[in-house]
Amino acid sequence: MKIIVCLKQVPAKDSVLRIDEGGQWVKEADLTWEVNEPDAFALEEGLRLKEKHGGEVVVLCAGPPRAASAIREALAKGADRGIHIEDEALGRADTFTAARAMAAAARAESPDLILTGLQSDDFGYGQTGVILAELLGLPHATIIMEVEKRDGSIKVKRELEAGWFQYVEMPLPALLAIQSGINKVRYATLMGIKKAKTKELKRLTPAELGVDLEPRQQIRRVYVPQKTKRTHLLEGSPKEAAAKLVEKLKFEARVL
C-alpha cells in the first residue's frame, strides 16, 4: 500500500509576527518554522497504516528550500522517502497553485491513498486537500477521525457538528483530510534521525512538472485589528437597565 502524505512547513506557534513593509504578509526573517500540526497527525496516521498493512509512506511537500527540514523530520519519524517541489514562491502559494504542483508529482507515483491535514496553521483555508483530490479525480473525505483498511476500500469516520459522526466506505485510491487529534503523534528517535540522512529526498521544480505558479488568489493586505473601547450608559430603572444589558449581551456581544 503506497501512501502519500502531504506536508507543509508553517511558522512556529511561538513566533513573534511582524507585518512586512509591503503590508501583504509577515516578516519571514523573524520566524522559526515547524511542520504544520494537522499534517503531523496525517503523517502519523500514514505511518500507522503502513505498520499494520505494509507498503511505504512517501512525504510530499511543495515549498521553498527551507521546507526540506520538514521532510527530513518526517523521514526521521519513519517515512520511507520524500519528494520536495522546490520554489521560493511556493512558500506563499494559494491553495490551487499548491494543489496543482502536488497533483503533478503525485500523479507519477500512482498512490493507493493520499493523506493531508485538514487545514494549515498559517492560512487555514482547508481547501488544498479537496482541490488536490479533484485534480486527480479521486474520491475524498474530510475531517477524518478514524481509518479502517478493507479489501480494495477504506471505511472512515468523519466528525460532524454537535457530537455527531458519519461513517463512509470509499474505494481506493482515495484522498483523506485528517482531523487533528485522530492519534498521538510520535517523536523522532535518535536512530530515526540517523536513518533519515540516508533516505531518498527527490527535488523537483514546478518547471519540470509543467506547472506554472501564476496565483489564482492573492492576499492584498495584512493588518493588525484596531482595538476600540465603547461605553454605553444604560438609562432607566435598575430593572429596565438589567433588561437592556441582557439584550446587549445576547444580541451584540453574543456571550449569552
Burial tier of 81 (Cβ tally within 10 Å: 0-12, 13-18, 19+): middle
d(CA 39, CA 227) in angstroms, rounded, equals: 33
Report CA-CA distances (Å) from 153 to 3, 170, 209. Answer: 14, 6, 30
pLDDT for 102: 96
Name the residue among 76, 40, 60, 35 with its Cα closest to residue 204: 60
Report CA-CA distances (Å) from 183 to 54, 103, 141, 145, 156. Answer: 19, 26, 18, 8, 14
pLDDT for 207: 93
All cell numbers assigned to 154: 477504506
Give me the residue spans of the domains in the chain.
2-209
Query: pLDDT, tens digit, for every residue of 118-161?
Result: 999 988 899 999 999 999 999 999 999 999 999 989 999 999 98
Query: pLDDT, tens digit, for every residue of 197-223?
Result: 999 999 999 999 999 888 888 888 888
For the whole model, what pTM was predicted?
0.84
pLDDT for 21: 87
pLDDT for 60: 97
Query: Do β-strands 113-117 and 2-7 pair in parallel, antiparallel, or remain unpaired?
Result: parallel
In CATH, what class is 2-209?
Answer: alpha beta
Name the residue among 144, 151, 146 with its Cα closest to residue 171: 151
Where the chain has pLDDT below 70, the residues are none
